[in-house]
Amino acid sequence: MRNQIVNEDLEFILYHNLPWHKFEGKTVLISGAGGFLPAYMVKTLLHSNDKNRSKLKVLGIVRNKEKALARFSEYIGRNDIRFIVHDVCEPVSIDQKIDYIIHAASNASPKYYGKDPAGTLSANILGTYNLLQLAREKKAEGFLFFSSGEVYGEVDEHCMFIREDGYGYVDPINVRSCYAESKRMGENMCVSWFHQYGVPAKIVRPFHTYGPGISLDDGRVFADFIADIVYNRNIIMKSDGSAVRAFCYLADAAAGFFTVLLKGHNGEAYNVGNDKGAISIKDLANMLVSLFPEKKLSVIRAERVGNTGYLKSKITRSCPEISKIRLLGWEPQFQIEDGFKRTIRSCLL
């Protein structure tokens, strides 16, 4: 049975005034389909079939079929979705027409950047090459590349909001840069394939996104905090919590991704984040505790922090400027308190 909060989110996404008819009768290929962000796009498309009789088909490229089936357990047995077990770092060969390609296969958590930097960058470079070539071969109508707000690097800390052209410093000799540098290269590949071959590639740069379905062992600090509330644990702060991040609820972000795919300009990148969701990590921890007073939890500063293998970011503030995607008609709707409350409650259902 589908989670009630997820069902409300899918209705919310489809309510957006977008040209959904472009998907009617089409086949959409999504790499990394079992991942946190693309999974909501998969579910939205399938919900469109249920609600609007769109007669579209989804092909989901996944590395682990068992995890994908667990993620989409309520859709097992349907004929409008098929999973393909494949590593996108290897050439992709599919003997049928593909109308849209969404490339979202990537290690997104910093806990992998130190453990598997080669694998992290390979999906963003080799995987992007293979899927752009597939889009070129199939004459796809649309191609969406999932980049990241990390491409901006270390911007001037006095810069309150980051525009799409506001790049800072990324150290190519730092192993943690495997993610940001490869996302930058993936973006340039999209622009190059559009320029040279006419592949209609568009780029989204998600900032910190949270919502139903997030892995509670994701490794990122906000996921740790969510897990603490869900499991009735005090939140242990492992830093002074002064870093500021802008958090965007998943349903808002998914609507933004579809907005760029369906209405964005080819060869361009768009920030997808909530410019009103900026909060320090310390204030986020205190807010989450206050949202569930019945749990009687506290925020505690750790006396010492062991080596977790997590490669920390040097960026003190990361907040998007979103006027560019606003011109396409997208606006985040969920307040941070409501979004996190929905996320935690979805874990408890």
pLDDT in the model for residue 162: 92
Tell me whether residue 309 is in a domain: no
Q: Cα–Cα distance between 309 and 190 in angstroms, integer?
A: 32
**Residue 170 token pair:** 């990324």
* C-alpha 227, offset from chain centre: 19
Q: How would residue 316 be classed by pLDDT, with cut points 50, 70 and 90?
A: confident
Tell me whether residue 298 is in a domain: no
Q: What are phi and psi of 237, to 5 degrees?
A: -80, 125
Tell me whether residue 86 is in a domain: yes
* Cα angle 309, 313, 315; round to 5: 170
Tell me whether residue 303 is in a domain: no
CATH, residue 34:
3.40.50.720
pLDDT in the model for residue 240: 87
DSSP secondary structure of 160-189: SSB-TT---B--TTSTTHHHHHHHHHHHHH
Mean pLDDT of 319-346: 97
Contacts of 284 (CB under 8 A, 6+ apart): 222, 225, 241, 245, 247
- pLDDT per residue as tens digits for the range 10-69: 999 999 999 999 999 999 999 999 999 999 999 999 999 999 898 999 999 999 999 999
Tell me whether residue 156 is in a domain: yes
Give me the domain span that covers residue 95: 4-215+248-276+317-334
**Residue 349 token pair:** 């259902």
Tell me whether residue 38 is in a domain: yes
Tell me whether residue 101 is in a domain: yes
As for how many domains the chain has, the answer is 1
- pLDDT per residue as tens digits for the range 146-199: 999 999 998 876 667 899 999 998 999 999 999 999 999 999 999 999 999 999
Q: Cα–Cα distance between 328 and 306 in angstroms, integer?
A: 45
pLDDT higher than 60, residue 305: no
pLDDT in the model for residue 158: 65
Q: Cα–Cα distance between 48 and 52 in angstroms, integer?
A: 5
